[in-house]
Structure formats: structure tokens, C-alpha cells
Structure 1
Amino acid sequence: MYVKNAFLHRELDREIYMIQPIGFQNQHHLEYVCKLWKALYGLKQAPRAWYGKIAEFLTQSGYLVTSADSSLFIKTNKGKLAIVLVYVDDLVITGDDKEEILQTKENLSVRFQMKELGQLKHFLGLEIDRIQNRIFLCQQKYSKDLLKKFGMLECKPISTPTEPNIRICAHEGKSLEDATMYQQLVGSLIYLTLTRPDISYVVSVISRYMQNPKKPHLEAARRILRYVKSTIDYGLLYKRNEDCKLVGYCDADYAGDCDTRRSTTGYVFKLGSGTISWCSKRQPTVSLSTTEAEYRAAAMAAQESTWIIQLMNNLHQPVDYAVPAYCDNQSAICLAENPIFHARTKHVEVHYHFIREKVLQGEIEMRQISTDNQVADVLTKGLNANKFKMFRYQLSTIQRVGIEGEC
């Protein structure tokens, strides 16, 4: 549903003044300013004022804001759920309590000027397809518009987004005359990673050079576009009627950054066969060993796991088992399971030992996995085509036309 008059409900909770609008200046009192009674469209406080209004309405209707996400509201009634997700003036309403959903839609239409958009098919550039007992999430139109915007619609496709074990440095190559275009391209690619975990690593790498991009950085970004051209109809597939257990994978590329020698963390979480959360991020400090880098990656994965468990509990889908976290480094697993601090770990920041507490509490179970089967590897480094395609499939990133035939 869409709220047509969202920003007309925007009482301010503080005093705000503005200069006199052009065309309405009082010639005798040019130094005067205007005091706002309500928020103007485009004012920083306007979305916050609107959120306060819609949150108040939903709370009075019996909904509770979740502790995991302040934009997610849930109402329970005799074991059934009604869920409302708020994104500024767009509302996504779902759940298994059909009566409550109909009542909520009716109440919203009475209180605000609403426009019902029907079953969710497009949302903020995301495309949602329902085929039998599956949901397919992609950004095909967004990808096509992206290629067209940057003149790559007729480019030659390529099978991988980056070369194997690529090393991109900050000071190699000629500086770009116009950095704005590069910055716009990288920003657009970052949004594309919402449904494309397979490009998360290389997009993370090229985003480090936004301030002073060089020609090699632009070439790397264009290679991503060539890969997007060859996989324009790829997206994430979610299946129903299967064992929906939460499982995680974490990995690290030791000292992979050429400029700072920092390691790269990669983790991915799957619910059943569908990928629901992933990350590729350079670590904030230098690790002194592969074990330390992997241990830090596992700690970051543990933090994400804690949030997902909290969200699942809010959705009344309790995680009453130890979430398996697969790591390909045996030393990091031993370090996480050992409650005794050793001399070799005393330099590691305290918050990275967060994972030890979670392992001891039974919330997370560290498990060994071979490097050849470590799906999080695709989030830490460039891989050869065969290995990349295998991990891409394991991430449930498949082609739209392959849904019908279980590609």
C-alpha cells in the first residue's frame, strides 16, 4: 500500500526556522525568518515526523514494533500473525491472519489517504515473482537501466565479475578526469548487491576508491557491468516446504588488501536453501595471522547470527538450536571453543571474543568445512569460473528461466 498524503501528517517535535521562500519575501523585513508549524517535504525531520505518526497509529491498533527492526510491526492473535513493514510512505502488509490484514487495510484507509497496489510485485527496484511454491527475487529492470545509463547495454558479456585473485591498488594507474561518474556507478552497483551476493566482493573492493578513482578501478567496475549483462535475469530463489534451518558460513582472505594489508571478511547465512544475509567487508585492523583473520570473521558472523535469531524470534519462528557456522580454519574453531585466553590472543580486541561467549552458551556451533566447499569464499576473493559458478548456485542465485525446471 502507498500513503498518498504521508508528508501532510508531520507535526514537528522541535522548533525549526527557515529563510523566507523566494517570491514571498517581506521587503520591509528581509531579516525575518519563518517558523515552521509542520515539516516541509524534503526537510530532514519530515520522514521522522511521519514515522512517529504511523508508528503511533499501528501501536494503537495493537501492533508491536520489533526489537530487531524499528520499521517492522507485528500483531499476534491466537497463534496467527499480521506483519507491517514501513518504508517511508510505502507499506508492505503480510501474514497468515487474513482477517486482521483486511481490518488493518481498512483502518489505514480511514485514517490516511491510501492507494492499494495489490500483491507485491515491485518494491524499491526489487522484482518479486511467485511460481508455485517458490519466490524469486531479482533486479532485472534495474540492471538493464543501469547498463543503459552507463553505455554498457551492448557490451560483450563475461562469465565472472572479476579475475581470479585480483589485486587492485589505490595508486596504480591514471586518475580519472571525472570522478562523479565512477562514484555514481559504484553507488548503483552497491544497490544491486541487494539481490546479487555474487558481486558483493568486487563491489566492496572498488567502493574503497571513491575519493580518488584511477583508470584500473573504472575498468574493474566495467567488468562487473559486463558480468551483469551476462546474468541480467539472475536473482535469489526461496522455496517452500523444506527444512528451514538457519546455517552460516564465514571466511577470511588473509592480508588481501594491497594498500593496508588488512584481511577481508566474508559471511553468508541461509534459511533452508535460500540466502538471507551476506557481507563482504575489509577488516578494520591488520591481523597478524590467518587464524586471527578467520577468528575475526567468525566473530562478525556471530554478531549477524545474533541479530537474525532476534528477528526470527520477533516473527515467532524461534531458533531453538545451536546455529551451525562453517569455517575452513581449524585453529580459529579451536580458538572460538576454548574459554581460556592465550598469550597469542591477548592483542585481539575484546569485542572479537564475543563469539566465544555465544559458542559456550550454545547459540552457535563452529564446524569444520573444506576450503573447496566454503561458499563464503566467493565473498572474500576472486575465483576461477568453475568454482565461482558452483558457489553462485549454492547461494541460490539462479537464472529466472531456470525456476520452472529446477536449474
Structure 2
Amino acid sequence: MVVLLYVDDMIVTGSDEGEIAKLRAELSTRFDMKILGELSHFLGLEVKNMKDGVLLSQEGYAKKLVEKYGLKLSKRRSTPLDISEKLRRDVGSLLPDPKSYRSLVGGLLYLTITRPDIAFSVGLISRYLQEPRKPHLEAAKKILKYVNCTLDLGLFYKRGGGFLLNGYTDADFGGDLDKRRSTSGYVFLCNNTSVSWCSKKQDAVVLSTTEAEYKAATLAAQECVWLRRLITDVYHQIHKATDLFGDNQSAIKLAYNPVCHARTKHIEIEHHFIREKVLDGTIDNKEVRSDLNVADIFTKTLSKGPFEFLRARLGLISKNNFKGEC
């Protein structure tokens, strides 16, 4: 799970010189400090302040990762994994030295800080760290080849325009081929750019798509409550319900209607958290067309067209679009 938060100029650059000086003075009494100027690089993250907002990326880090594994001249890929990609725990020959695989997956995991488009694929290959096999390594290299073709992508946070938070949730029913567990995915966007996202295998087998989507929505609801509290602490109080979009009508109806039936009566109490938040007005659970559900990119592999469409909806754009701007 990754969370990024940017609120106008206040969080990134600071807008009150007096308060900034006061904070520096207080911190300097406890820590050795140096004033390094405006933030541009931090632990592999690149921060570029421009006229209309801030661009976050990891282009330099990604280049080093590609070069480390000798894939700088690799063939172009338009998606991280093929739509037909089917990985299994026990298929393929074991790698003689799993350390390289684990290092590659770790490097890709760090890259997901600013690259939500690879979150599902990296989460998928990270399931096989204990006993990695040849197909798992091949899949990891495919992701890195895709990264090599999209080095300039970053998250652009636009200045101004208010602060509108909304989320999308989705689930892939029984997508894990080893234990037949489903994958939950969600993303929250602020002014059309991702600030928090997650792709996670569910902890138990579910019996229907309704149950899978309902559990995914509950996971998103927990994140929504935390984000609302964080925004209240650093920016302002949110007075209206946060829209949470999903593409499963049954799961949405279940969140509003406490009537249980054969498909849902066995669902554990903890997963009814979203119902409580819908009823108390914190969340407004709404339906969205499946092809417009941004969270779809966090639950399954997609073909080029849908993948690129949803990637753009995440707020990922090319750094080349801003050449010359500052």
C-alpha cells in the first residue's frame, strides 16, 4: 500500500515564512541541521516544482535498476505483464540463486512509490519470494522492460482547484491460481491524481464475486477513514461524504441494505465496516462502469488499450510534457 499527500503549496513548499523559521529554530535545538534549499531529490524520489504544480517521479532510480539487470536495450513493452500471464507456485524450475530475484522484486516494490501502474504486477511476483522459479524471474524482467519504456512517467499534483477526494475499489474473483484467493484493489485520487493505492491478495477464499468485491470495498473504506482524518489534521475538515466507486451492484446494495441472504450471511462482522461508514454518511458507495473503474488496474493484467487508459486516469504523465517549465 502506498500513500502520497500533497495539499496546495502548504505541504510541499510552505507558505508562512514565520512559521517555517520557528519550526527550524525548534528542530535545530534537538538535531544538527543544514538548510539545503528547495527539495529536489530524496531517497530516489525526484520532486520537480513547476508553474502549475509538483511532479513526483523516480526516473533516476528506475534507470539504475534497469542498468543493474542489463535491460537497457530490451525490446519495448506497452504493459507490465501479458494479459495471458498465469503464474503458479510450483510450475517451472527453481532458480539456483534466489537472491537476485528477491533483490529485483525489492527494487520494483520501491518503485511503486510513484508508479501505481505496476503495483498489481509487482505484488503478483512478490508472492513467490520464498521459492522463486524461472517463470517468476521472466515475469519480473517483463515488468522491468516495461519500466524501461516508461522511465519518464510521474505523478503530477496540480496546484489550486480545491481538494476533492474520491476513491475506486475492485476485486478479481479467485485470481490466485495456487489458493484460489481473490485480489483486492483500491485507489484514492485528489483532483484526479492518485494519493493512495493498494493491490493485495485477500486473506481467505470467498464464495462469490459479491463477497470478493464487498471485502475489497471494506479495505478501501478503512483507508478512506484514515485519509479523511489525515486531511483534517493537515488541511481542513471534510464535511461531505467521500465518493467510493465500485462496479459490482450486489456489493454496493449490501453496503446500504443490511438484509442478509444466502450469498452473504456467512461474511464475517469485520467486513461490514463499510456498511457502518455508508450509513453514518462518511462514504457514499456509488456504481461505475467496469471499463471506467480505475481500481481495475490493481486487480488483474490488462491489454494495452484499457491499461493505458486507466494509467492516465491515475494521474501518471510524462515528464517530457513539462520541458522548459519551472
TM-score by length of 1: 0.75
Give SS of 1:183's match.
Answer: helix
The answer for the alignment partner of 1:136 in structure 2 is: 55
Change (3 A) 1:215 1:125: same
Q: Per-residue deviation at 1:152?
A: 1.5
Task: Write out per-residue CA displacement over residues 353-398 of structure 1, whole angstroms, 9 at most, x where no aligned residue.
Answer: 0000000000000111111111110110010101100000000111
- Separation in 2 of the partners of 1:151 and 1:404? 28
Q: How far 1:153 sits from its partner (Å)?
A: 1.9
Instruction: Give the Cα separation in 2 of the matches to 1:241 and 1:384.
Output: 34
- 1:210 maps to 129
Q: CA deviation at 1:310?
A: 0.8
Deviation at 1:343, TM superposition (A): 4.5
Q: Is the 8 A contact 2:13 2:38 kept in 1?
A: no
- Residue matched to 1:234: 153
What is the alpha-carbon distance in structure 1 between the residues aligned to residue 171 and residue 119 of structure 2? 14
What displacement does 1:241 show? 2.1
Q: Retained in 2: the 8 A contact 1:82–1:100?
A: no
Alpha-carbon distance between aligned partners in 1 of 2:211 and 2:161, rounded to the nearest angstrom: 36
Kindly state the Cα deviation for residue 106 of structure 1 after the two structures are TM-superposed: 3.0
How has the CA–CA distance of structure 1 residues 100 and 82 changed in structure 2, closer, same or farther, with 3 Å as cutoff? farther
Kept after mapping to 2: 8 A contact 1:165/1:381: no
Matched, 1:153 2:91: no
Aligned residue for 1:46? none
Distance in 2 separating the partners of 1:166 and 1:298: 26
Whole-angstrom CA distance in 2 between matches of 1:273 and 1:343:
38
Q: Using the alignment, how far apart are the partners of 2:324 and 2:162 within structure 1?
A: 21
Match of 1:19 in 2: none
Return closer, same or farther for 1:214/1:111 CA change in 2, 3 Å cut-off.
Answer: closer
TM-fit CA distance, 1:110: 4.4
1:359 partnered with 2:275: no
Q: Secondary structure at the match of 2:300?
A: coil
CA distance in 2, matches of 1:243, 1:184: 41
**Secondary structure of 1:281's partner?**
strand
Q: Does 1:314 align with 2:249?
A: no
Aligned to 1:345, what secondary structure does the other structure show? coil
CA contact (8 A) 1:82 1:101 kept: no
Measured after TM superposition, the shift of residue 111 of structure 1 is: 4.2
Unaligned runs of 5+ in 1: 1-68, 73-80, 84-92
CA shift, 1:130, in A, is 1.1
Q: Secondary structure at the match of 1:129?
A: strand
Q: Which moved more, 1:355-364 or 1:396-405?
A: 396-405
Corresponding residue for residue 297 of structure 2: 378
Would the aligned equivalents of 1:94 and 1:101 in 2 still touch at CA under 8 Å? no
1:116-135 superposed Cα distances (whole Å, 9 cap, x missing partner):
11101111210000110211
Paired AA for residue 195 in structure 1: T
Match for residue 104 of structure 1? 23
Q: Which of 375, 389, 394 does residue 308 from structure 2 map onto?
A: 389
> What code does the residue aligned with 2:174 have?
A
Question: In structure 1, what is the Cα distance between the partners aligned to 2:26 and 2:183?
Answer: 48
* Alignment partner, residue 32 of structure 2: 113
- Give the secondary-structure state (helix, strand or coil) at the position aligned to 1:235: strand
What is the root-mean-square deviation of aligned Cα atoms in Å?
2.0
CA–CA distance in structure 2, aligned partners of residues 303 and 280 of structure 1: 14
CA spacing shift, 1:111–1:243, aligned 2, 3 Å: closer
1:165–1:383 contact (8 Å) kept in structure 2: no
| Distance verdict in 2 for CA 1:353–1:390, change over 3 Å | same
1:194 aligned residue: 113
Name whichever structure is richer in strand by fraction.
1
Instruction: For 1:241, give the aligned amino acid.
Output: G
Alignment correspondent of 2:252:
333
The whole-number CA distance in structure 2 between the counterparts of 1:351 and 1:107 is: 43
Q: How many positions carry a matched residue from both structures?
A: 319
Displacement of 1:342: 3.6
Partner of 2:263: helix, strand, or coil?
helix
Matched, 1:170 2:95: no
8 Å CA contact 2:208, 2:263 repeated in 1? no
Check the 8 A contact 2:57/2:153 in 1, yes or no: yes
Structure number with bigger Rg: 1
In 1, Cα distance between equivalents of 2:190 and 2:17? 25
